[in-house]
Amino acid sequence: MVKIMEKIITIDKSGDLIIPPEIKKSLDIQKDDKFFVFKNKDSIIIRKIQRPPLSKRFENLSKIVANKFIEMGVSKIDVAEAIQWARK
């Protein structure tokens, strides 16, 4: 069962919405998290953008690079030589 949290909030002096701490905690909201904001007549919906963990993003990027290397005909020897050249 999904627990619904309702809070009445106000706009502060600078015009910002302050999300209550208990809602931040329940959604694991961290600094620099991103959100979609939807407006519909008299409603605003704020939805947290779920980003995969850094390890998963790196894994996905590695697959993209590996596939591009295969497509371009870059061999493991080419990569090793490029690494040695860059370390000089």
- Tell me the β-bridge partners of 17: 11
Model confidence at 72, in pLDDT bands (50, 70, 90)? very high
- Looking at the whole model, is its pTM more than 0.75? no
Q: For 28-71, what is each residue's pLDDT tens digit?
A: 898 889 999 999 999 999 999 987 888 998 999 999 999 999 99
Sorted by sequence, the CB contacts under 8 Å of residue 45 that are 6+ apart come out as: 37, 38
Identify the CATH assignment for 1-50 out of 2.10.25.10, 3.30.2090.10, 2.10.260.10, 3.40.50.1820.
2.10.260.10
Domain boundaries, the chain: 1-50, 54-87
Is residue 61 within 8 Å of 69, Cβ to Cβ?
Answer: no
